Structure formats: structure tokens, C-alpha cells
Amino acid sequence: MRDLWAGLPILGQDLLILLALLLPVAVIGGALLRGFAPWPLALGMIRRFGWINAVFVALIAISVGMGIGLVAQERGLRRGTADAASKFDIVVSAPGSEITMLLAAVYLRPADVPLIDGATYAEIEADPRVRLAAPIAFGDSFEGDPVVGTVEGFVSHLSDDTVEGRIFEHEDEAVVGALIDVPLGGEIEPAHGHGSFVEMEAHGDFHYEVVGRMAPTGTPWDRAVLVPIESVWSVHGLAAGHAPEEEGHAEDHDEPLGPPFDPDLFPGTPAVIVVPETLAQSYGLISGYTRDAQTMAFLPGAVLSQLYAILGDIRQAMSLMSLVAQFLVAASVLTGLVMLLRLFERHMALLRALGAPTRFLIALVWSYGAALLALGGLLGLAVGWAVAAILSGIIAARTGVAIPVGLSWSEVHLVAGFIAATTCVALIPAWALIRGTTTAKVRM
């Protein structure tokens, strides 16, 4: 049986789970409604107290939607952060916290980290297993967005060679992310520092000309200004990584850009983004450049897995809290349903007096309650999607990471389970109401 289940397509498995969750509802409905048609009366009961029923459905939708929204948001956050790190195969940096370096190099969160020296970078760049070794440099900003120094190859890699305009060729040129509101040909004046520690006049009247714009990536790099790393070093009064008359770069008096760098004139870099020639060589590179006193190398995906494990523990705690909350919601729903059904006690007594069978009365009351519960659960899916969209917008605005919004089969199964459980338990107030009307009739 396990092999048969594993051989089914994913869609087939999800559909079977959905059908299994809704099977109790179908069984109860078939047993109660067989030979009866209580829906006209049930719809009349819904219309008779429309506002009360609407409030009841809205409360169910909100309670279900909040749980669904949090579950969908957590899944979207995982996917968004993973997509943002997909272009960063290996990060090599000075020894320290991998999480801090991940946040700085991949997600552009300001951090004070040690630097890799020129000799170490030259060794990485010359490694035959390395296709791209891109140094990055931080420290400046433009209207709150980071200015990142790097090399031409990294811009091509990050943008998949889809740059509007061209990539920088001189120290005073820049390529901007898709969300930087500066047109091609416009100027950018870098400020020293980030946030409340910005010094606007620290670099004199130095400006960058925008010569290219990257296509949207859905990452914090959409709000970054990419410039030659030599310019970041130069405006801070450091060596530019090249000898003044370096052979092959002195033509037309153009300043040299990009590797190879002179190790003695290399001021240092917080991190090197390494793209291996083949995926199989990644672990060899990580092992080779993980040295206690010099460098550390890591896969961003592996560090994210550690963070996801922490999130997983939090999710388990939240799931437990959600189960408790759902239990309380179910209890509140049943209490509310009992109160609603009390409104129709006289109607049920009248139908009983007219000779309506007990099963018809139970089917009528159950159909009324099940309709409200099912409508509230289905609307909860829409509320959950809206909650996830709002949370995603807030997170994207603060982090720059595009969080995909969408509902999966997990949320559908959650709603189906809620509807099945509550509609099954709805038999209890329905039976209690009918017994109450029967007792009242006997006493009369």
C-alpha cells in the first residue's frame, strides 16, 4: 500500500487527502438528506437573520484566515529567501559568523566584518576550479540604498546578462538595481555610511553616472547601486588594487578595472562571491578555503537551512498554539451555532407539530449550520491569502526580498479538515434542538 501511494502523482495524493477529509461530511449529508430536500427552508433560515448569520460567517472566516495566512507566509518567506540566495554559490570571508556574513553579502544588511587580504583573494581568483571570484565592498549608500563595489563579471552573473544600457567601464560609472529611481544618464552622489550614520559630504563632489539598469531580481540587490570596486577604494583614500601603469590597462589613460589585482595594492574585501566551474567542485572549494585563522567558506543555502531549522522549531510551537486556537474557535463556533439555532426553536416546534419527521428536522438544522460553517471556511481561504499578501508586502518593503504569495494544498487541506470537524460536531446542537422541541411538545 505504501508503494502504491508513493507511486501516485503529487496532485493525485493531494486530491485523495482532500476527499478523505471531506468523506465524513458526505457520509453524514447522504444519511440525513436521503429522500429530503431541506435546502429551501435552510436558505430561508439564512435570509431570515441575514446580518447575524453574516457576522457568524465573518468570525469563522477571520479565525480560519489568520491561521492560513501565517502558514502561507512562513512558506513564502522560505522560498523568497532561498530564491534571493540562488546566485550566491559560495561565500568566502574572514572567519566569523556565517549568519552575519550571509546577511551582509547576500541580503545587504550593514555589518562590521573583517577583510580578506590581497594574497588570499589572488589565490581564490587563480584557482582553476573557480569560474568567477567577485570581491564586494560596502560602506557607502545613496538615499538609504547600499552602494556596492564589485567587478563586471558579478554584475553579468547577477543580472543574467540582462542589463539595460551597459555595464560600467570606468570608475565613475554605475549600474543600478531595478528599483533605484535614477534614469540612465543620471548622476548618483554616494554618501558615506548607512542609516543615521550617513556623511553626505565625505567624498567631496564625486558622482557616478548611471550607465546601466539590471532587470528585476526580487532580491535586495534591486535596491543596490553597483559600482567598480576600485572606485569604492579610491574615494576612501585607499589603493585601487592596480599599479598606476599596470601593463595592459594604461591604454588611452583609462583606469584599470577588475581582476587581476595586485595583492600588495589590494585594500581588502569583506567577502568574495565564488562561482565554481562545476557544482561538484563546490564542496572541495569550501573545504579548501575554510581555514581557522584566514578564511571561512560556506554555502548560503546551508546557512539558510540552519535558519529554517530554527524557524521550523518556531513553526512547531506556533502550530501547537494554532491547534489550541482552533480548538477554542471550534468551541466558540459551536456555542454560536447553539445560540443561532435557538432563534429557530419555535419554527422547529411548528414543523414538528405539522408532522415533520425527526430526521428531516435534524437534516434541516444540520444543513443550515453546515452551510454557514462551509461558507466561513471557504472565505477563510480568501482572508488567509489577503493576510499573507499584506505580510509579504511589509517584509518585502523592509528586506527587499520578494515573498511569493499563494495558497497550497496544505491550506486547502486545513480548511477541509476544519469544515469536516465542525460540521460533524454540528450534529450535536442540531440533535439537542430537536430533542428540546420534542420535549416541549410532550409537556404541552
End position of a domain, from candidates 279, 298, 317? 298
Whether residue 218 sits in one domain with residue 147 = yes
Q: Above 50 in pLDDT, residue 272?
A: yes
Query: For cell 543596490, what's the residue?
Result: 224
End position of a domain, from candidates 273, 298, 323? 298
Contact 219, 226 (CB under 8 A): no
Interval 90-116: pLDDT, tens? 999 999 888 899 999 999 888 888 899
Residue 245 burial (C-beta neighbours within 10 Å; 0-12, 13-18, 19+): exposed
Amino acid 253 reads: H
CA–CA gap between residue 170 and residue 163 (Å, rounded):
16
- The x, y and z cell numbers of residue 43, run together, are 436558505
Whether residue 377 sits in one domain with residue 248 = no
- The residue segments making up the domain with residue 353 are 10-83+307-443
Whether residue 79 sits in one domain with residue 94 = no
Whether residue 243 sits in one domain with residue 143 = yes
If pLDDT is split at 50, 70 and 90, which confidence band does 195 have?
low
Query: Do the domain assignments include residue 413?
Result: yes
Q: How far is CA 149 from CA 154, 183, 226, 272, in A?
A: 10, 20, 6, 12
End position of a domain, from candidates 269, 298, 327? 298
Whether residue 360 sits in one domain with residue 245 = no
Interval 20-53: pLDDT, tens? 988 988 998 888 888 888 888 888 888 887 888 8
- By DSSP bridging, strand 191-192 and strand 145-150 are unpaired
Whether residue 280 sits in one domain with residue 247 = yes
CA–CA gap between residue 381 and residue 234 (Å, rounded):
55
Task: Look at residue 353 in the predicted model and tell me its pLDDT.
Answer: 75
Number of domains in the chain: 2
* Residue 332: other Cβ atoms inside 10 A: 13
What pTM was estimated for this model as a whole? Answer: 0.77
Phi/psi class of residue 287: alpha, beta or left (left: φ > 0; alpha: ψ in -120 to 50)?
Answer: alpha
Task: Look at residue 210 in the predicted model and tell me its pLDDT.
Answer: 93
* Chain length of the chain: 444
